[in-house]
Copies of this chain bind each other. A is one copy, B any other.
Amino acid sequence: MNFPLSLNLMEMKTLHPEDQNFKGFFKELSGRVEDRLRDCFAGLNVPDDLYESMNYSLLAGGKRIRPVLCLSWAGMLGAELEKIVDFACGIEMVHTYSLVHDDLPAMDDDDLRRGRPTNHKVFGEAMAILAGDGLLTHAFYLMARTDLPAADVLAACGEISRAAGPAGMVGGQVVDIMATRSNAMDLDALRKMHSMKTGALISSSCVCGAMLARSWGAGKIDAANALSFGESLGLAFQIVDDILDVTGDEESLGKKVGSDESKDKSTYPKFFGLEMSKKLAQESVDRAKKSLDGYFGQEKNFLVDLSQYVVDRVC
């Protein structure tokens, strides 16, 4: 198994000059997250070894897609981003813990992540388990301290815990492990697994952006649009990732091409062939863009560009 796609998004070398706005805006939002993550344990008495282990993975050059989605949706709905950034950092911590645990010997047994030794390779298994536990727990500490109306923050905390929990990300990882062992997953199961394992946290990041923008007038319809956008984008991400595993070049992908195929893994190209998979990815991106109808401004343009960018990598 690999946690996919999105991670290599900005490393792709296909950016055109007209993409500079997109890239600049991405950098601005991810920069805010990056800055806040650097001091997110400030004022707490965290043992040195644990602090190092958590920060090793947290500050390892992730692309911050999920918090950027949260900030973009909140910003598009009028929110003051400074008020949202702590919560967005919490989402990134949830994502990071899942990577640390996913790499463990008992799980995917990966030695490298983003070109560096995985957490347990550097700090040992016990510390990697505890670093993951610490990141997940601290994520809720950070999110719970968001300085916005308590009802909105609480609803968003509930949303993330649902998306990341046994019926979401953790559950999806279990389904993936069981399917890899038994070598059997039909298309419905594949869809379900992806929507739990990666889709839930991606769409939830958008939904939380909308929930936290309630003080600025956002409503239920915005949360529903954010959900629809996030689900479609998440699906497109996953299809494209499957396609790139067949067609991509290893250097720009940063991982071995054909690894899914060699493991006889269920993928979209395996079920539909390459061309149909590309078509499905574009359709999913079109649905994502459709959810943005009626919104405007810099964030809306960014979210449209981000959606198209995903599928342009393969079409």
Interface status of A110 (Cβ within 8 A of chain B): no
Contact with B along A34-56 (1 / 0, CB 8 A): 00000001001111011100100
Q: Choose, from A3-11, A62-70, A138-146, A295-303, the stretch at the interface.
A: A138-146
Size of interface on A: residues with Cβ below 8 Å to B: 52
Interface majority SS on A: helix, strand, loop or mixed? helix
Complex interface: chain B residues within 8 A of A104 (CB): 129
Q: Is A154 positioned at the interface, with any CB of B under 8 Å from its CB? A: yes
Instruction: Report whether A134 and B44 are in contact in the complex, using a CB–CB cutoff of 8 Å.
Output: no
B125 with A45: CB separation less than 8 A: no
Contact of A45 among B98, B107, B158, B167 (CB under 8 A): B167
1/0 contact string of A152-191 vs chain B (CB within 8 Å) = 0111011001101111001101110110000000000000
User: Do B144 and A154 touch across chains, with their CB atoms under 8 A apart?
Assistant: yes
Report the bound CA distance from A175 to B48 in whole Å.
Answer: 9
* CB of A101 closer than 8 Å to a CB of B: yes
In the complex, chain B residues whose CB is within 8 Å of the CB of A154:
144, 150, 153-154, 157
- Give the Cβ gap from A172 to chain B, nearest Cβ, in Å: 8
How distant is A241 from chain B, measured CB to nearest CB, in Å? 22
Set of chain B residues within 8 Å of A124, measured between Cβ atoms: 106
- In the assembled complex, A151 has its CB within 8 A of some CB on chain B: yes
Does A126 touch B at the CB level, under 8 Å? yes
Given A137-B164, A178-B47, also A170-B101 (CB < 8 A): no
Q: Which residues of B contact A175 (CB under 8 A)?
A: 47
A101-126 at interface with B (beta carbon < 8 Å): 101, 104, 106-107, 124-126
**A127 at the binding interface (Cβ < 8 Å):** yes
Could you say which residues of chain B place their CB within 8 Å of the CB of A41?
166-167
Is there a chain B Cβ closer than 8 Å to A274's Cβ?
A: no
Contact between A136 and B137, CB atoms less than 8 A apart: yes
Contacts of A161 in B (CB 8 A): 137-138, 140-141, 144
Contact B178 A137 (CB under 8 A): no
Distance A54 CA – B167 CA, assembled complex (angstroms):
12
Contact A126 B177 (CB under 8 A): yes
Complex Cα gap A104–B140 (Å)? 24
Is A130 part of the contact surface with B, judged by Cβ < 8 Å?
A: yes
State the A residues within 8 Å of B (CB).
Answer: 41, 44-47, 49-51, 54, 97-98, 101, 104, 106-107, 124-127, 129-130, 132-134, 136-138, 140-141, 144-145, 149-151, 153-155, 157-158, 161-162, 164-167, 170-171, 173-175, 177-178
